[in-house]
Amino acid sequence: MLKELLFLLLVVMDASSGSHNSWCDPGCDCRVDVRSTICSRAFLTQLPSRVSPNTKLLDLSDNHISVIPKRSFSKNHKLQVLLLQNNNISVVEDGGFSQLEFLSKLDLSWNRISTLTEGFSIGLAFLRELQLAHNLLTSLDSSSFLHLDGLQRLNLTSNSIHTIQVRTFSSMSSLRQLHLENNQLSSLRNGIFSILRSLEVLNLAGNRISETEIGIFKPLTSMSLLNLANNQLSTIYFKTFLSIQTYSTHILLEGNPWNCDCDLQRVFQKLRSIQRLFLDDYYNLTCKAPPVLQDYRLMEVDTELCIAETVTVLIITATVVITVLAAMLMGERMRKKEQKEKHWTQQCLVKLT
Ligand SMILES: *[C@@H]1O[C@H](CO)[C@@H](O)[C@H](O)[C@H]1NC(C)=O
Ligand SMILES: *[C@@H]1O[C@H](CO)[C@@H](O)[C@H](O)[C@H]1NC(C)=O
Ligand SMILES: *[C@@H]1O[C@H](CO)[C@@H](O)[C@H](O)[C@H]1NC(C)=O
């Protein structure tokens, strides 16, 4: 009863004083009715001190906040959406987001975060979406996302990530989208995607990947889109893609420096015949090597790539056939000669006796 009265009082206060009540910092727009606090572009250098405990949406985007101190939101445990994009955040203290048990979306894109410690994700077990694009991350390991069991969408676009340790995503069995485009990845270790059974979108475009280990995509049994465009692939292994066990997966491979030889032609020919795989941008793949084929589309030359090889095979076959025939002829001649000699010897013997 007392609680309800208090709430009523709050509502009345809010209605009478507009957005400038005791729960609203200067520069913020506080809407008790819709439980949102909007402090976007308010020139804040630190977190506002008076956010209503009933707030579900807190928008702090486009400010100059640089630190998220420990237990910053301990009075705002009803928060569901927290927007912090476009600030100057470089430090998230351990437990900075703890006690946000209802938080489902956290946007930290366009900041200066360079490391994620274990304490970063404490208390975020129900987070569904984490935006971390355009930060300064360079490597990820098993502690980076340790407590994010419920995460469905992770956006790490445009960082400088060059290393992903094997157990980095090991708590995320619900993850559906993983965006890693525009980073510095050059190789992918077998096992880094091993738990991601729900993953539908894996975006690796714009990295430096030159090799893919054969079993790397095998665990991704829900993957419907694999984007490997704009990497450093010059060739691929058939088995890497054959091992994708899904109903249907679209694969993008444009913008790689393909080495257009007969092997590549064969791999693509086989891949294109697999019904569950769709090479959507096959018609846009261009050759980087050999030099005579540079900038040609693979599609335009693919029927000729194995011709040289076919000719070689034909020549070898012909040589073998001719050799065998010659040997047979020689053999036949020898046999006849021997027979003649035998005949002659026999006649001589007959004459002698
Ligand atoms: C951003 O934070 C750095 C320290 O991390 C500080 O030197 C710089 O002045 C801040 N920039 C702005 C625009 O607040
Ligand atoms: C990822 O972040 C970038 C940059 O903020 C944004 O443009 C893109 O839409 C995001 N992607 C998803 C799927 O959230
Ligand atoms: C192929 O490239 C053209 C021009 O860059 C683009 O418009 C088209 O969408 C690409 N096709 C596919 C399937 O990606």
Q: Give the pLDDT mean for 248-261.
A: 96
Q: Give the pLDDT mean for 254-267.
A: 93
79-104 pLDDT, tens digit per residue, is: 999 999 999 999 899 999 998 999 99
The verdict on the CB of residue 66 being under 6 Å from ligand 1 is: yes
% of the chain beyond a pLDDT of 90:
65
Q: Does 345 score more than 80 pLDDT?
A: no
pLDDT at 138: 97
- Which protein residue's CA is at the shortest distance from atom 11 of ligand 2? 155
* Calpha distance 168→192 (Å, rounded): 7
pLDDT at 14: 45
Cβ contact 80:55 at 8 Å: no
pLDDT at 353: 58
Q: Is the CA virtual torsion 148, 149, 150, 155 positive or negative?
A: positive
pLDDT at 13: 45
Q: Which of the four pLDDT bands, split at 50, 70 and 90, describes residue 330?
A: confident
* Calpha distance 111→96 (Å, rounded): 15
The verdict on the CB of residue 88 being under 6 Å from ligand 1 is: yes
pLDDT at 26: 86
The verdict on the CB of residue 144 being under 6 Å from ligand 2 is: no
Q: Which of the four pLDDT bands, split at 50, 70 and 90, describes residue 10?
A: very low
* Atom of ligand 1 lying closest to residue 90 CA: 5
Which of 4, 8, 30, 7 is closest to 17 using CA atoms?
30
Alpha-carbon Rg of the chain, whole angstroms? 34
- Which protein residue's CA is at the shortest distance from atom 12 of ligand 1? 64
Q: Does 154 score more than 50 pLDDT?
A: yes
* Atom of ligand 1 lying closest to residue 91 CA: 5
The verdict on the CB of residue 109 being under 6 Å from ligand 2 is: yes
Residue 119 gets which letter from DSSP?
G
Computed over every residue of the chain, the mean pLDDT equals: 88
Which of 152, 101, 100, 162 is closest to 131 using CA atoms?
152
Largest Cα separation within the chain, whole Å, is: 147
- For residue 206, the one-letter residue type is G
The verdict on the CB of residue 133 being under 6 Å from ligand 2 is: yes
Q: Does 313 score more than 70 pLDDT?
A: no
pLDDT at 339: 78
The domains found in the chain, sorted by start residue, are 185-327 (3.80.10.10)
pLDDT at 325: 79
- Which protein residue's CA is at the shortest distance from atom 1 of ligand 2? 155
pLDDT at 163: 95
Pairing mode of beta strands 153-155, 129-131:
parallel
pLDDT at 349: 64
Using most ligand atoms within 8 A of CB, pick from 256, 272, 279, 284 the residue to mutate for ligand 3.
Answer: 284
Rounded to the nearest whole angstrom, what is the distance from the C-alpha of residue 86 to the centroid of ligand 2?
A: 13
35-72 pLDDT, tens digit per residue, is: 999 999 999 999 998 899 999 999 999 999 999 999 89
161-175 pLDDT, tens digit per residue, is: 999 999 999 989 999
Which of 26, 20, 55, 58 is closest to 42 using CA atoms?
26
- Which protein residue's CA is at the shortest distance from atom 14 of ligand 3? 281
pLDDT at 11: 43
172-195 pLDDT, tens digit per residue, is: 999 999 999 999 999 888 889 999
Annotate 44-72 with three-state secondary structure.
CCCCCCCCCCCCCEEECCCCCCCEECCCC
